[in-house]
Amino acid sequence: MPKKKVKKVVNKENIRHDGRKLSELRPIKLEVGILGNADGSAYIEQGKNKILAGVYGPKEVHPKHLALPDRSRLRCRYHMAPFSVQERKSPAPSRRDIELSKVIREAFEPSVFTEYYPKTSIDIFIEVLQADGGTRCASITAASLALADAGIPLRDLVSACAAGKVDGRIVLDLNDKEDKEGEADLPLAYMSNLNAITLLQMDGMLTSEEFEQAINLALEGCNQIYQLQKEALKAKYVEVKETMNEGADEQ
Partner 1 sequence: MTSPVVARMKQKRMADLISLGKRLDERGLTDYREAQIEIGVIEKAEGSARVRLGKTEVLVGIKIGLGEPFSDVPNQGVLTVNAELVPLASPTFEPGPPGEDAIELARVVDRGIRESKAIDLEKLCITPGKKVFIVFIDLYVLNYDGNLIDASALAALAALLNTKVFNYEVKEGEVQIKPGYKSLPIRNYPIAVTFAKINDKLVVDPCLEEEQVMETRLTMTIEKDEKVCALQKSGKGYFRIQQILEAAKIARQKAAELRKLVVKK
To partner 1, the closest distance from the beta carbon of 106 in angstroms equals 6
Q: Is residue 211 involved in binding partner 1 (CB under 8 A)? A: yes
Residue 190 pairs with which residues in a beta bridge?
Answer: 159, 197
Window 107-146: contact mask with partner 1 (x via CB under 8 A): --xx------------------------------------
Say how far apart CA 106 and CA 118 lie, in whole Å.
Answer: 18
Q: Residue length, the chain? A: 251
CA 101 vs CA 14, 25, 142: distances in Å = 35, 24, 14
Other beta carbons less than 10 A from residue 124's beta carbon: 28
Stretch of residues binding partner 1 (CB under 8 A), selected from 51-59, 132-140, 213-221, 230-238: 213-221
Closest to partner 1 by CB, 34 or 197: 197
Q: Does 197 bind partner 1 (CB under 8 A)?
A: yes
Binding residues for partner 1 restricted to 158-187, rule: CB under 8 A: 186
41, β-bridge pairs: 54
Q: Could you give the CA distance from residue 221 to residue 218 in angstroms, rounded to a whole number?
A: 5
Instruction: Name the segment binding partner 1 (CB under 8 A); options: 49-57, 105-113, 166-174, 221-229.
Output: 105-113
What is the amino acid identity at position 47? Answer: G
Q: Is 212 in the site for partner 1 (CB under 8 A)?
A: yes
Q: Please, which residues have CB within 8 angstroms of residue 19's CB and are 6 or more apart in sequence?
A: none
Complex with partner 1: residue 199 or 228, whichever CB lies closer: 199
Position among 34, 67, 68, 219 found at the interface with partner 1 (CB under 8 A) = 219
Q: How far apart are the C-alpha atoms of 227 and 104, rounded to whole Å?
A: 21
Residues that bind partner 1 (CB under 8 A): 1, 95-96, 98-99, 101-103, 106, 109-110, 186, 191, 194-208, 211-212, 215-216, 219
